[in-house]
Amino acid sequence: MRTPPTVYSQMLPAHAHRRKRLLPDKLTHYSMGLFVLFFGTRRTYDDIAHHTIWMGPRYKDLLADIFDRKILADDFSLYLHRPTATDSSFAPSGYDSFYVLCPVPNLRGAIDWKTTGPLLQDRIVAALADTIMPNLDAVITDAFYMTPEDFKTDYRSMHGAGFSIAPIFAQSAWFRFHNRDPHIKNLYFAAAGAHPGAGMPGVLCSAKVVEKLVAEDDAKAML
């Protein structure tokens, strides 16, 4: 589960909240949201590598739009993923397969994703077509996207954050949500929002920690 805050605030019975280990939500910093557009193409783009970072014109100001002002800017930076570059089974012969990830404000912003989603898709496709993927608008197929609303609904991620609570100092290492709740028996977290942190290696490490803690607790219960 990406965010232990969702578990504490939405999934536990009210009496458990009294002993919860949870900062007030307004003091918690969350990662940005993600707009992720998945698509195929009716041709291959052999020059595109497995990983591409596509930089927009701004850096710090774009981050301020995303994290502070929480508005959708006119420009963006993108991460473009082409798994077919290393594994051809990701698309039928002669086709290609991609996703493109665009950092956007999480749901603490007031973006209406129902109307914004299709427009942002068009803008991203146009930007890629104008630069590294010529003619993309004519060959794109089977496109669909996820917005922060989907991260909230499908992954129960608080505020639709893409990577759970932000990895700032006061929310990292010991300060991140602990893998074992200190008060609620049998509540363990293996998740992006828990120690040691987001990303697959972090989440897998947190699963290893939980495995150890459960075994420890089991052993104590046997005594």
Ligand X SMILES: Cc1cc2nc3c(=O)[nH]c(=O)nc-3n(C[C@H](O)[C@H](O)[C@H](O)COP(=O)(O)OP(=O)(O)OC[C@H]3O[C@@H](n4cnc5c(N)ncnc54)[C@H](O)[C@@H]3O)c2cc1C
Q: Which residues bind ligand X (CB under 6 A)?
A: 1-2, 34, 36, 101, 154-156, 162-163, 191-192, 198-201, 203
Token readout for 124 is: 């991203």
Q: How far apart are CA 163 and CA 104, in angstroms?
A: 12
Q: How many CA atoms lie within 13 A of 152 on its CB side?
A: 14
- Cα–Cα–Cα angle for 134, 139, 142, nearest 5°? 130
Q: Are 191 and 3 in contact (CB under 8 A)?
A: yes
Give 84: exposed, middle or buried? Use CB within 10 Å, 0-12, 13-18, 19+: buried
Q: Which residues contact 89 (CB under 8 A, 6 or more apart)?
A: none
Q: Are 192 and 202 in contact (CB under 8 A)?
A: yes
- Cα–Cα–Cα angle for 53, 203, 166, nearest 5°? 60
Q: How far apart are CA 70 and CA 185, in angstroms?
A: 38
Residue 141, CA distances (Å) to 38, 88, 138 in order: 10, 17, 9
